[in-house]
Amino acid sequence: MPQNKQIPADIEPDTNPTAVNESQPEPPTIGRGELIEQDVRDRFKRMCEGYFDNICKKLLIEHKVSV
């Protein structure tokens, strides 16, 4: 069972912008500092655009029918 950790209200967050959090490792990179290859990003973008276009068309059709 997950436990909720509560932070006391009187504690302020670290405001030092130059402080480095060493507990978080660097993310893995591919090629020129990219996390995901360009062709995978392009395919995902096209998929999302197609999905968005289909949803827009469906919502327009349903709106016209219900009016």
Q: Which domain holds residue 67?
A: 35-67
Percent of the chain residues topping a pLDDT of 90:
37
Q: Hey, what are 54's tokens?
A: 């289909």
Q: Is residue 43 part of a domain?
A: yes
The 10 Å CB-count burial string (b at 16+, else e) for 31-41 is eeeeeeeeeee
The domain tally of the chain equals 1
Q: Quick check: is 21 in a domain?
A: no
| d(C-alpha 13, C-alpha 7), whole Å | 10
Show the tokens assigned to 1.
């069972």
Residue 50 has pLDDT above 60, yes or no: yes
Statement: residue 62 has pLDDT above 60: yes
Element (DSSP H or E) covering residue 64? helix 38-66
Task: Give residue-wise pLDDT tens across range 13-43.
Answer: 665 555 555 576 665 655 667 788 999 999 9
Strand segments (E) across 4-52: none
Tokens 């395919």 appear where? 43
